[in-house]
Amino acid sequence: MPHSPNTEEGEIRLIARAQTGDEDALEILYREHERRAYNLALRMLGDPWSAADVAQDAFIKAFSSLGRFREDAKFSTWLHRIVVNTAYDYLRKRRDEPEEDERLQHLATTKRDSDTPGMERGGDPASDGLSSQVKKALLSLEEDFRVTIVLCDLLGFTYREAAEILEVEQGTVKSRIFRARARLARILRDDLGGENVDSVGNNGAAQAVQET
């Protein structure tokens, strides 16, 4: 059967197949969404091991409860809401069990490719695509701000989609984006040792951040 995931109809058909347990359909769904879902988890949690755990849990949750998915929602919205909620749970657990967190942090800084099958692609797993300054700045944001700016600015969800994923008003999304960017600007400026970020061009800012 020809598959046209990019149309609404194609998606509905694909999900209908996946709901019957069709493994090909599940794989297509997985492949379509793995990248954004994983990056969402990664940017919320900060380390690839936690991100892989959360993404894995979220996909399993979503796929095993596909029966509860209703056609009036977009699959992507539904899935990413599960990722967000799973990540929030993970973060909460981390706060409640700080020893566990330390252990994970330790693992995150000492584990290497050979210990984690499948992590070898891309070399050092600690280099996860963001400069350390941007990463640090993002992780220092409050979770609600972080998840919103990650969804919209890093992953390209529209404000409307982000509002649906987070189950808040669009106005709330916009206001969070505004405040998150203002905070990031301040954090990055401080991080650059008082250098006036305003005088640096867009690419320059990224460059300056990476070089510091």
Partner 1 sequence: MLPDGYLHLTECPELTIDYLDGGLPRRALRAVEAHLETCADCRKAVAEQKRIATLMQSQEQVNPPHALKSRVMAGLTAETAASKERYAAHARLWARLRSAWKVQTLLPAVAALLFLSVALGVFIQTQTPKDSNLSMDVSETTSQAASAESSDSPMSEYSSALDERGRTEETEGTKTTAAVQSMPATALMAVSGTPTSVGQTVYGTLSVELPPPLASTQWLEGRTTYAVVIGSSDLALLADFLRATGSRVTVSHAEEGQEASVEAIVRALATYPRMVRLEEGNFRLAAQAAPEGQQDGFKPDQDILLIITLTPDS
Residues in touch with partner 1 (CB under 8 A): 21, 23, 26-27, 30-31, 34-39, 42, 48, 52, 55-56, 59-60, 63-64, 67-70, 116-122, 125, 128-130, 134, 149, 153-156, 159, 171, 174-175, 177-179, 181-182, 184-185, 188, 197-198, 202-203, 205-206, 209
Nearer to partner 1, 102 or 178 (CB): 178
Nearer to partner 1, 31 or 112 (CB): 31
- Rounded to a whole number of angstroms, the minimum distance from the CB of residue 15 to partner 1 is 12
- Rounded to a whole number of angstroms, the minimum distance from the CB of residue 73 to partner 1 is 12
CA of residue 87 relative to chain centroid, distance: 9
Nearer to partner 1, 83 or 91 (CB): 83
Cα 31 from Cα 125, distance rounded (Å): 21
Cα 149 from Cα 137, distance rounded (Å): 12
Cα 211 from Cα 192, distance rounded (Å): 10
Cα 174 from Cα 152, distance rounded (Å): 10
Nearer to partner 1, 42 or 44 (CB): 42
- Rounded to a whole number of angstroms, the minimum distance from the CB of residue 174 to partner 1 is 4
- Rounded to a whole number of angstroms, the minimum distance from the CB of residue 164 to partner 1 is 17
Q: How distant, in Å, are the alpha carbons of 2, 74, 87, 199, 212 from that of 42?
A: 33, 22, 9, 31, 23
Cα 168 from Cα 162, distance rounded (Å): 8
